[in-house]
């Protein structure tokens, strides 16, 4: 009995170590080309951001649309900046998800933004998980049924935010994000990390940002060793 208990305890320790390692390795590399269409991402790596871990909640629960400030993002983490477009990743119940949120609630003005997300190499089929605001409330969305692209037309008042969430993403994917038109009411574009750090991006029309997974998000962790038959119940 003692030997069996010791083996099971070891399995739990290994599982905990793998979970901790995955949390630490859940990072995304962020690059932005020097000019629209240049494609020189490898020469313009800006840094890395950590994924927000919220696997017990759905993307809609993390976004908390309409829960405090009306027609707005009300998530607790990360904290939004005024007159900025925010880009960050959250691991939710659906899997790894990409949040794109414009502005913050109850600032001094509204804005307009048209954005496109393009996806390569995703081993899952991404879809639109959250719309802020839902289709028909001045905002419009277009999604490729294969999950290869997402386009959003957003217009918001000073009370509110706008944005969307897409996912899930798995495997060795690449995600390109860009503005299709000059944004109005926005002065900054930032990639936010779970640890509070941020990377400044250029909101120049057509100038793409490339997002790539690092570490455990590219290859799955090795499975735990099987329990020997003689130790199983």
Tens digits of per-residue pLDDT, 29-72? 999 999 999 999 999 999 999 999 999 999 999 999 999 999 99
Per-residue pLDDT tens digits for 124-183: 999 999 999 998 778 999 999 999 999 999 999 999 999 999 999 999 999 999 999 999
Q: Are 133 and 69 in contact (CB under 8 A)?
A: no
Q: Report H helices in the chain.
A: 2-25, 59-63
pLDDT at position 231 is 36
How deeply is 210 buried, as exposed, middle or buried, from its count of CB atoms within 10 A (0-12, 13-18, 19+)? Answer: buried
Instruction: Supply the pLDDT for residue 53.
Output: 97
Buried b (16+ CB within 10 A) or exposed e, 24-54: ebbbbebbbbeeeeeeebeeeebebbbbbbb
CA separation for the pair 199, 1 (Å, rounded): 53
**pTM over 0.95, yes/no:** no
Tell me what pLDDT residue 216 has. Answer: 53
């Amino acid at each position: 009995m003692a030997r069996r208990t010791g083996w099971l305890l070891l399995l739990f320790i290994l599982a905990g170590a793998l979970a901790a390692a995955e949390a630490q390795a859940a990072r995304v590399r962020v690059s932005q080309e020097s000019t629209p269409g240049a494609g020189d991402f490898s020469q313009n790596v800006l840094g890395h951001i950590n994924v927000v871990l919220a696997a017990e909640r759905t993307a809609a629960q993390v976004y908390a649309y309409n829960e405090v400030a009306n027609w707005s993002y009300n998530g607790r983490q990360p904290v939004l900046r005024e007159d900025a477009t925010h880009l960050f990743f959250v691991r939710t119940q659906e899997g790894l998800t990409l949040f794109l949120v414009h502005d913050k609630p109850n600032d001094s003005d509204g804005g307009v933004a048209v954005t496109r997300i393009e996806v390569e190499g995703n081993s899952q089929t991404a879809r639109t998980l959250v719309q802020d605001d839902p289709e028909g409330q001045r905002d419009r969305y277009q999604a490729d049924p294969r999950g290869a692209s997402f386009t959003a037309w957003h217009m918001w008042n000073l009370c509110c935010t706008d944005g969307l969430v897409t996912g899930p993403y798995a495997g060795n994917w690449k995600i390109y994000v860009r503005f299709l038109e000059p944004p109005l009411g926005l002065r900054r574009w930032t990639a936010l990390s779970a640890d509070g750090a941020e990377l400044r991006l250029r909101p120049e029309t057509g100038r793409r940002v490339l997002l790539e997974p690092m570490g455990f998000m590219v290859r799955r962790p090795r499975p735990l060793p099987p329990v020997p038959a003689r130790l199983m119940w």
